[in-house]
Amino acid sequence: MAFSKNSLIITLWAILTSLMASALVYKSVSGGITFDANILNVLDLGDEINDLTKAAAEPFKTKGLLLIQHQEHQVSKTTLAKIAEQLLAKGLVQAASSEPSKDFDVNELANIYSSYPLAFLSQAATRAKNNNDYSHIVNNYMGLMSAPSNPLVSLTINKAPLLNLADWFADKSSINRWQQDQGFTYIEHENKRYYPLFLNFNQAAIQLDTVVATIAQLDKLVAQYQTSNMEVLSSGLMFHSAAITSQASFETQLFGGLSIVGVLLLTLVSFRSIQPLICISLLLGSASLSGMLALTLVFDNIHILSLVFAVSLIGVAVDYGYHTLLTAKYTGFRNKQLRGYIAPAIFVSGGTTIISYLLLLLLPIPLLQQVAVFITAGLAFTIITALTLIVHWPWQNKPETHPPINELGLQPKGFKAILAGLILCCLAAAPTWFFQDNINAFNSSPAHLVNNEKRVSQIIGNQQYPRFIYTKGDNQQQILERLEQIRLAINSINGGEFELLGVDQWVPSINTQQANIKWLQLGLAQGKLTPITDFMTTESVSNLNASSDSFMTIEQLPQAILTLYPAITAKEDNQVGILSYMGPIDPKFLQTLQQQLDFPVHYFDQPTKYSEALAKLRGYLLLFLMLAACALLLLMTFRYGYLQGLKLAAIPIITALSSLALSHLLLGYVTLFNLLACILIIALAVDYVVFLIEHGKQQHVIKAISLSAATSGIAFGMFVFSSTPAILQFGLTILIGVIIAWSLCFTLPTTILKRNQ
């Protein structure tokens, strides 16, 4: 009868788990699960900065660069052409050109711009306008007309017969920094000639799940064509993204595989039976399934980092499995009796952990909210599994009875010494305490890629990644006017040495367009352009003289141009315009720039903004940890009385604090990832303490705690070998925390565990 009841409960558990698995498979197959790896989406940069970051980063997201250098220039050019051809053939890139930004259609542009025949003046023509020197327009016309063939002339002369538009387009297609060599561009550096291949990757080829394969194909191509003495340098975010993803994937598989093998071996050795191993595997599998299902039901977009930190579920969940199994083994309790014995401890420790994690939902960080949902659902199902599947498992073994540990004359000592040591560590770390929020501390790009970027910067003379300068305005036109003024001011400061990219290069403000039209029409009226108008038909001249009240706006620009520059973003009543500056920016430069302008100009320092966002996130985590500590104190004092509750709650808190202190002493700083580890440490330590107080210092309790600590140590200890700083920091603190928590619990005097009835 008992067996059939057990079978019924186990069958119900299996049905519930199968339903969850089916729901997850359905969500997965129907495309209902999307993953995100963009770090920007987990940091609270503030709405404005968030929008700016995205707008500023957009034009550079798909852009990559290869620089090829060989003594024989022809070899470089041939290699470059072959790589470009293969990349295009494989569909990895939209464009692979030896010239920057050559993916727009001149015919289309000429068509659009010709509707405003007098509105555009090249930089040289603008200088001539400022000096009221019409001879530039005349000379330019004569020069362009003297050429046997010039497509810009052919495309624009019918509608813009002064050829100011042809001059404008010549300006736009000039690639000042690069020199020409038979259809290829190059740059000289240290007497070596570097040929560039500008790549515009397909969006689909650089997604989280494709970027590794894309870059691997590119590397293979490069290796295939690379000859001896050839230098190939790469630059672009996708190269780093591929390296980091590949590294993280390798580490996850290696550490994950090793820790699963370790945990299973440990379980097998401890129980010397296959059945507990099956129970533990089912418990962990179903907990992960439940967590994942809850995550996909609550959130549309799951961040990959949430899953990394959600791994901590394994460390907590396995505890309940071990406690239930070992209690069954050593007490001989089964079914209802076992459930009645183990349930209070599981509810208290599990409840404390769940409440702590639920507090994360109060923080406005999607990453932490996702971790909370995953762990809460996972732990809730762990409790169900422990109290149903494991409790009602048809165990056949006879109980192994052992006396309590304090009756063995084997009372471990050293609790006070350990406590004193931990306090000393905390005191030693305190004077130099430093929270590291600098984003660079988390950079896990391989050194050769970072060196490549530096080398490319040296060769092309620009900062490899732009600095962003932005300004606000009431409307698009005011933004364009302000961008023009900033451009003028920067050029006056540095003589136009560094590239300054912005949409204003392609669409001058209406004020500027009006001024250009007015100046050219004045020249026509005053006869200053007679050498040109002599050749024009009367109709052409009268068309130019006709007043125009239509002007070009950003909306008319083709998409191919718009994607080259940061967009003007609307924010409440304001508009924000961004310029990408390829030169260095320091406070003096900014001060000089601001002095020349009568409106505020801002420097968008991306690394600083990220660091500030990390500091903010760290602040939230500290707040959360304090709330969790308060919740722990309340729950413990509520269940175990004021004094004993206080003493018991102190153990997880001291463990977390001293783990942080020891991490600080080892690393020289602590980061938000060390703090994240403290959440798990508190959860684990609470488990140890609750089982000790609920069941006394029995051998099976100590064994369960030891097993739990060993598995957590194996699982998270692996992380210290990670080359990803965040994972290393997380793993190190947990490893230290687990050792401390186990040592404190193992040596905990039984006097502290005596409960007031």
Which residues contact another protein (rule: CB under 8 A)?
99, 106-107, 139, 142-152, 154-155, 157-158, 161, 170, 173-175, 180-183, 531, 535-538, 540
- Least distance from C-beta 74 to another protein, angstroms? 13
CA of 417: how far to CAs of 406, 421, 569, 686, 713, in Å?
A: 19, 6, 61, 21, 22
Q: How far is the CB of 458 from another protein (least distance, A)?
A: 25
Nearest distance in Å: CB 172, another protein: 11
40 or 106: whose CB is closer to another protein?
A: 106
Least gap, CB of 128 to another protein (angstroms): 13
User: Closest approach of Cβ 561 to another protein, in Å?
Assistant: 17
Least spacing, CB of residue 162 vs another protein, in Å: 10
Dihedral over alpha carbons 554, 560, 563, 569 (to 10 degrees): 20
Distances (CA, A) of 350 to 128, 313, 363, 455, 686: 78, 11, 21, 53, 9
Supply the DSSP symbol for 570: E
Q: Least distance to another protein from the beta carbon of 142, Å?
A: 4
Q: Which two tokens stand for residue 565?
A: 């520059």
Bridge-based pairing state of the strands 63-69 and 192-201 = antiparallel
- Which residue, 538 or 757, has its beta carbon nearer to another protein? 538
Shortest distance in whole angstroms from residue 563 CB to another protein: 21
Q: How far apart are CA 229 and CA 237, in angstroms?
A: 26
Nearer to another protein, 9 or 106 (CB): 106
Which CB sits closer to another protein, 99 or 484?
99
27 neighbors 33 (Cβ within 8 angstroms) = yes
In DSSP terms, 35 is beta-bridged to 302
> 161 or 523: whose CB is closer to another protein?
161
Cα–Cα distance, 743 to 418 (Å, whole number): 8
Residue number, 135 or 432, with CB nearest to another protein? 135
Rank residues 170 and 264 by Cβ distance to another protein and give the closer one: 170
Number of neighbours of residue 653 by Cβ within 10 angstroms:
19
Closer to another protein at the Cβ: 51 or 181? 181
- Dihedral sign for Cα atoms in the order 655, 658, 660, 662: negative
Nearer to another protein, 564 or 667 (CB): 564
Beta carbon of residue 598, minimum distance to another protein (angstroms, whole number):
34
Cα–Cα distance, 498 to 491 (Å, whole number):
9
Q: Give, in degrees to the nearest 5, the angle at Cα 670 between 664 and 672.
A: 155
Chain centroid, CA 38 distance in Å: 4
Q: Which is nearer to another protein, 173 or 491 (CB)?
A: 173
What's the closest the beta carbon of residue 536 comes to another protein, in angstroms? 6
Q: Which is nearer to another protein, 158 or 723 (CB)?
A: 158
Q: Is the Cβ of residue 78 or residue 173 nearer to another protein in the bound state?
A: 173
Q: Measured between alpha carbons, how far is 626 from 615 in angstroms, rounded to an integer?
A: 17
Query: Between residues 109 and 690, which has the closer beta carbon with respect to another protein?
Result: 109
Closest distance of CB 197 from another protein, Å? 16
Whole-angstrom distance, CA of residue 438 vs CA of residue 612:
8
Nearest Cα to Cα of residue 377 among 296, 256, 303: 296
How far apart are the C-alpha atoms of 309 and 302, rounded to whole Å? 12
Phi, psi of 103 (to 5 degrees): -100, 25
**Torsion sign, CA atoms 732, 735, 736, 741:** positive
Closer of 164 and 509 to another protein (Cβ) = 164
Cα 454 to chain centroid, rounded: 22
**Least separation in angstroms between CB 101 and another protein:** 12
Name residue, tokens 């659902």. Answer: 377
- Per-position DSSP letters for 179-204, written without gaps between them: EEETTEEEEEETTEEEEEEEEEE-GG
Q: CB 570 → another protein: shortest distance, Å?
A: 36
Burial of 448 (0-12, 13-18, 19+ CB in 10 A): exposed
**CA–CA distance from 94 to each of 102, 202, 563 (Å)?**
11, 5, 13
Beta pairing, strands 467-473 & 63-69: unpaired
Least distance CB 196 / another protein (angstroms) = 14
- Considering the complex, what minimum distance in angstroms separates the CB of residue 145 from another protein? 5
What DSSP assignment string belongs to 70-126?
-SSHHHHHHHHHHHHHHHHHTT-EEEEESSTT--S-HHHHHHHHTTSTTS---HHHH
In angstroms, give the least distance from the CB of 122 to another protein: 10
Contact residues for 649 (Cβ-Cβ < 8 A; gap 6+): 629, 632, 633, 636, 637
Cβ proximity to another protein, 106 vs 739, nearer residue: 106
- Identity of the residue numbered 421: G
Task: Look up residue 553 and give its two tokens.
Answer: 């706006």
Q: How many CB atoms lie within 10 A of CB 443?
A: 13
Report the residue number, 139 or 397, with the smaller CB distance to another protein. Answer: 139
Q: CA–CA separation, 390 vs 383, rounded Å?
A: 10
